[in-house]
Amino acid sequence: MVFVTLMCVAAPVAFAATAQENWTAHCAKCHAADGTGKTTMGKKLKLVDYTTAEGQAAFTDETATAAIANGVVEDGKTKKNGFKEKLSAEEIGDLVKFVRAFGPK
């Protein structure tokens, strides 16, 4: 019985995706695998190039966290869907760190 309980508690942690996996699954289609935003959709939406200092300075960790969790709506139109129903708070935080790693060294 204890084993079953432990498995139920540990299961969500054991199956959490890495930031790289979440980036590939949820973000790269628009933001590009390398964070440049040089995709068809990224160009259409005029996405920030995360590999530049200017791109990194365009947002705070808090605004990035909110955008990943809740999405982005501009002029009444959804520009980006939120992922709070699909990703844990830890996974969202890891994605913010992942995006910061694209910046210049």
Q: Residue 47 in contact with residue 30, Cβ under 8 Å? A: yes
pLDDT for residue 16: 84
Rounded CA-CA distance 76/11 in Å is 38
Query: Tens of pLDDT along 33-55?
Result: 999 999 999 999 999 999 999 99
CATH superfamily of 18-100: Cytochrome c-like domain (1.10.760.10)
Rounded CA-CA distance 70/89 in Å is 12
Higher pLDDT, 16 or 87: 87
- Among 101, 98, 102, which Cα is nearest to 26's? 98
Rounded CA-CA distance 57/34 in Å is 17
What is the pTM for the complete model shown? 0.82
**Exposure of 21 by Cβ count < 10 A (0-12 exposed, 13-18 middle, 19+ buried)?**
exposed
